[in-house]
């Protein structure tokens, strides 16, 4: 099964698969640097946390100014895995050229070593940006490079305008949010999908668990489960919960969240939910009494028929698109013998046209009951 082409997912899979095998070899004169796949994942994760600590996030333009070697690769991976836009800078630039690129590329953070080729980077930057002399680290305000706020030098320096990487152990290992009603704290990475309105998300999860009404003897299937937002809350009430999601990175986070919260009755699987043979998947075996659907905006049409074949006694459908929700409810009602018994709307994004909708369905024909 294919892995989504995201940097964190590919790094995680490669580290698991190849471990101590050589990922990169770099020579610099008589010196040789090597990174294994596992080291590449760990070192780039440390660097990514350091970038997060200085405010880098999705879409931030990060200039990378290194000679070819392990440093260039590590910082490229670090910025890429948090969704930043990497701007490689040529080591052949003269100061005037460097100043021009910093300005035109709208670079916000510049990361560099102490030397590139035969040039001292601090001296080169001061020649390119004379205003640096009066600046403080992390608070740059430069007419010549108006977007540039931080310059990170990866080696010790006495320049007051330069920041240096901190100890990665001093940087939070992950972002997280809580669901106090279920005694849960869920970790996520900056480019993961989460519900950004924490207060409404708590109400959403609480209502979904209430409406699904699964008990200690029930088996729940959570499709499009993400990093476990509903799955782990349901696991506090139900006997067994199985979460399925197409993004391997999110499934890795979901499994980690289950472990950190001491939940042993939830299982997570990577699955292609557009496949025609879902019933053949290993995780499908055993049947389910309840189903929760939380699809993306395109809806859950591909899974409706196999879900109906499971004949769950209750389905809760959470939707971010009323149009695809209406379409899918119509299919479940008119083609699969389910009836709509409750519905509601949560204002996830106030002052916008976007809402989160919920619906509860139960079988209305005896032939649909388990």
Q: What b/e sequence results for 200-230 when a residue is b if at least 16 CB atoms lie within 10 Å of its CB, and e otherwise? A: bbbebbebbbebbebeeebbbbbbbbbbbbb
Q: Which two tokens stand for residue 68?
A: 């070819």
368 labelled catalytic: no
Beta bridge partners of 268: 243
Q: Which two tokens stand for residue 262?
A: 């001491």
Q: Are 293 and 230 in contact (CB under 8 A)?
A: no
Residues 109, 234, 310, 320: which is the catalytic one?
320
Selection from 296, 280, 226, 222 nearest residue 1 by Cα: 280
How many Cα atoms sit within 13 Å of 311 on the Cβ side? 8
What are phi and psi for residue 152, nearest 5 degrees? -105, 120
Closest among 324, 320, 333 to 360, alpha carbons compared: 333
Judge whether 61 and 108 are in contact, CB under 8 Å: yes
Angle at 250 between CA 15 and CA 86, to 5 degrees: 65
Classify the phi-psi angles of 331: left when phi > 0, otherwise alpha if psi is within -120 to 50, otherwise beta: alpha
- Buried b / exposed e over 120-132, threshold 16 CB at 10 Å, is ebbebbbebbeeb
CA 282/CA 280 separation, integer angstroms: 6
Burial class (CB in 10 A: 0-12, 13-18, 19+), 251: buried
Rounded Cα gap, residues 49 and 86, in angstroms: 16
- Alpha carbons 214 and 237: distance in angstroms, whole number: 7
Kindly list the catalytic residues: 320
């Amino acid at each position: 099964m294919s892995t989504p082409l995201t940097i964190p997912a590919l790094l995680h899979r490669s580290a698991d698969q190849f471990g101590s095998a050589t990922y990169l070899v770099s020579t610099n004169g008589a010196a040789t640097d090597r990174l294994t796949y596992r080291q590449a994942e760990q070192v780039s994760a440390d660097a990514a946390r350091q970038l997060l600590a200085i405010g880098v996030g999705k879409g931030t333009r990060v200039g990378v100014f290194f000679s070819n070697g392990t440093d260039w690769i590590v910082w490229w991976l670090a910025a890429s895995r948090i969704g930043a836009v990497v701007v490689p800078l040529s080591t052949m630039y003269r100061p005037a050229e460097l100043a021009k690129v910093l300005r035109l590329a709208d670079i916000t953070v510049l990361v560099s070593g102490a030397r590139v080729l035969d040039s001292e980077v601090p001296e080169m930057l001061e020649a390119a940006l004379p205003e640096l002399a009066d600046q403080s680290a992390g608070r740059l305000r430069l007419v010549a490079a108006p977007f540039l706020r931080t310059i990170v030098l990866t080696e010790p320096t006495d320049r007051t305008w330069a920041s240096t990487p901190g100890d990665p152990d001093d940087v939070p290992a992950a972002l997280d949010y809580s669901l106090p009603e279920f005694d849960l704290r869920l970790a996520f990475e900056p480019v993961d999908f989460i519900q950004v309105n924490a207060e409404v998300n708590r109400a959403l999860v609480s209502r979904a668990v209430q409406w699904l009404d699964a008990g200690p003897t029930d088996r729940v299937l959570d499709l499009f489960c993400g990093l476990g937002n509903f799955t782990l809350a349901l696991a506090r009430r139900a006997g067994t919960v199985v979460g399925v999601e197409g993004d391997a990175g999110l499934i890795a986070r979901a499994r980690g969240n289950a472990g950190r919260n001491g939940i042993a009755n939830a299982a997570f699987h990577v699955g292609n939910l557009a496949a025609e043979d879902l019933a053949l998947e290993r995780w499908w075996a055993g049947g389910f009494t309840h189903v929760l659907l939380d699809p993306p905006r395109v809806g859950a049409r591909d899974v409706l028929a196999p879900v109906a074949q499971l004949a769950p006694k209750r389905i809760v459908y959470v939707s971010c698109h009323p149009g695809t929700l209406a379409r899918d409810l119509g299919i479940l009602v008119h083609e699969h013998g389910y009836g709509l018994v409750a519905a509601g709307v949560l204002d996830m994004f106030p002052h916008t046209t976007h809402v989160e909708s919920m619906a509860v369905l139960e079988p209305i024909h005896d032939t649909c009951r388990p």
